[in-house]
Structure 1
């Protein structure tokens, strides 16, 4: 018996048979696979820990013929300038630390100022530090020996940098220490 129907129906059935045969042939061809590796990382800390997330960065500054200041707000991270100090570009940031554990009492070791020294020598500037914190429940508080609830707290450090008149150009840096005392 042959295929019955109109010429159009027979042609459609032939095209369908050819398509099915082609699909079957393609199923036998192996697919090409492309591989790429990725990286997953984490840091595990013990309870009652403190981790530095970001450094305090006053950004790039142009000094003028008069002294000035550059302030990075500990609460908002916003930068502002006064006097002969001019902000260049928009890159600046408050320091960020995170602590975990029980009830916390936060203090800054030593003086609340830091001296920034020019790489290669020949110049210094001082900055007065300001601390603030947020708890896992939200809200921001300025710190100075403040009790905080348990959980995860984020601590911010900002400050005001004193820039001298015609301050020598270069990269300046200094260190400060943040200590969290757990009760």
Structure 2
């Protein structure tokens, strides 16, 4: 029994000693993102949030900021400064179903965005990138873009404003 233990240790030690020397792993300075979107039929999945970007309000003129539902482009009215390094984006959703199936998209926007201090921004409206009634493509998927317009008051207090909205898909 004593010799069997020594033999087992000797075999284990020889495996350890015979292991190749590996170079230390080096990571990429900025890891590249890897993504995949999996869709289950008769579902609706958020791909990205709508974001109005960084905005500087005027001290003399109220204005509007709009995100285009189709292109994701952002525009602002006179008196509003749109910060170019944070341009925002449209909301985007994906769904799946049978090819040729009809789906009705219903959007219920919030009435306002609020920051943690309780300050509010009025949501003028939100839009879809196309008709509410859609036909699912031959590849069995569909995408929905969401845009909107908000009202920025004179001297609007700073802060991160947010709210939620409902988007539903009624498969026909």
8 Å CA contact 2:102, 2:133 repeated in 1: no
Contact 2:69 2:128 in 1 (8 A): yes
Q: 1:47 to 1:143 in 2, by over 3 A?
A: same
Match of 1:94 among 83, 90, 94: 90
2:141 matches 1:145? no
1:131 to 113, 123, 128: 128
Quote the RMSD (CA, aligned, Å): 2.8
Tell me how far apart the structure 2 counterparts of residues 44 and 98 of structure 1 sit (CA, whole Å). 10
Deviations 1:114-155 (Å, cap 9, x if unpaired)? Answer: 4111222133321411111xxxxxxxxx12334444511111
Q: Which moved more, 1:151-160 or 1:119-128?
A: 119-128
Q: What is residue 108 of structure 1 aligned with on the other side?
A: 106
1:159 is displaced (CA, Å) by 1.2
**Structure 1: tracts of 5 or more residues without a match:** 1-28, 133-141
Gaps of 5+ in 2: 1-17, 28-33
- The structure with the larger Rg is 1
Give, in whole Å, the separation in 1 of the partners of 2:38 and 2:123: 35
Mapping for residues 71-82 of structure 1, pairs under 5 Å: 71-82=66-77
Determine helix, strand or coil for the equivalent of 1:172: coil
C-alpha distance 152-180 of structure 1, shift in aligned 2 (>3 A): same
Aligned to 2:9: none
The TM-score normalised by the length of structure 2 is 0.71
Q: Which residue of 2 aligns with 1:32?
A: 21
* 1:81-129 Cα deviation digits (max 9, x unpaired): 102221013321000110011213232244x554111222133321411
Question: Secondary structure in 1 aligned to 2:72?
Answer: coil
The size of the alignment, in residue pairs, is: 144
Partner of 1:46: 40
Q: Indicate the structure with greater strand content.
A: 1
Which secondary structure does the structure 2 equivalent of 1:167 belong to?
A: coil
Q: Is the 8 A contact 2:62 2:151 kept in 1?
A: yes
Determine which of 57, 63, 79 is the counterpart of 2:57: 63
Is the alpha carbon distance of 1:83 and 1:41 closer, same or farther for their aligned partners in structure 2, counting shifts above 3 Å?
closer
Q: State whether residues 69 and 163 of structure 1, in contact with CA within 8 Å, keep that contact through their aligned partners in structure 2.
A: yes
